[in-house]
Structure 1
Amino acid sequence: MLIQRIQSIYLAIIGILSFVIGFITDFIPEDWADMFLFFFIGLLSFFSLFSFKKRKIQIKINYLNIIINVVLIGYMVYHLLSSPGGAFSPMKGVEFFVPVLLIILLAMANKYINKDEKLIKSVDRFR
Structure 2
Amino acid sequence: MIQRIQSIWLLIVALAAFATYTLTLYIGKLSDGTARPFLLADNFLLVIIIIALGSLAIVCIFLYKNRKLQFRLSILGVIFSIGFLFMEYLKVEDFKKTNNILTGSYQIGALLPVVMIIFFILAARGIYKDEKLVKSLDRLR
- TM-score by length of structure 2 reads 0.79
User: Which runs of 5 or more structure 1 residues have no equivalent in the other structure?
Assistant: none
The one-letter code of the counterpart of 2:108 is V
Structure 1: which 4+ aligned runs deviate by more than 3 Å? 85-91
The one-letter code of the counterpart of 2:62 is F
Larger Rg: 2
- TM-score by length of structure 1 reads 0.87
Which of 32, 37, 51 is residue 49 of structure 2 equivalent to?
37
Which of 38, 51, 59 is residue 63 of structure 2 equivalent to?
51
In the alignment, which residue of structure 2 is the partner of 1:110? Answer: 124
RMSD, aligned CA: 2.0
Question: Structure 1 pair 73/87, CA: closer, same or farther in 2 (3 Å)?
Answer: farther
Could you say which structure has the higher strand fraction? 2
- Aligned residue pairs: how many? 124
User: Which runs of 5 or more structure 2 residues have no equivalent in the other structure?
Assistant: 25-37
Cα offset for 1:103?
Answer: 0.6
In the alignment, which residue of structure 2 is the partner of 1:6? Answer: 5
The one-letter code of the counterpart of 1:44 is L
Question: Structure 1 pair 24/125, CA: closer, same or farther in 2 (3 Å)?
Answer: same
The C-alpha deviation readout for 1:38-86, integer Å capped at 9, x for no partner, is 1110100011110011011001101111111111111111112222246
In the alignment, which residue of structure 1 is the partner of 2:105? Answer: 90
Question: Structure 1 pair 43/98, CA: closer, same or farther in 2 (3 Å)?
Answer: same
Cα offset for 1:23?
Answer: 3.6
In the alignment, which residue of structure 1 is the partner of 2:14? Answer: 15
Could you say which structure has the higher helix fraction? 1
Contact 2:16 2:113 in 1 (8 A): no
Matched residue SS, 1:90 = strand
Distance 2:43 2:61 in 1: 27
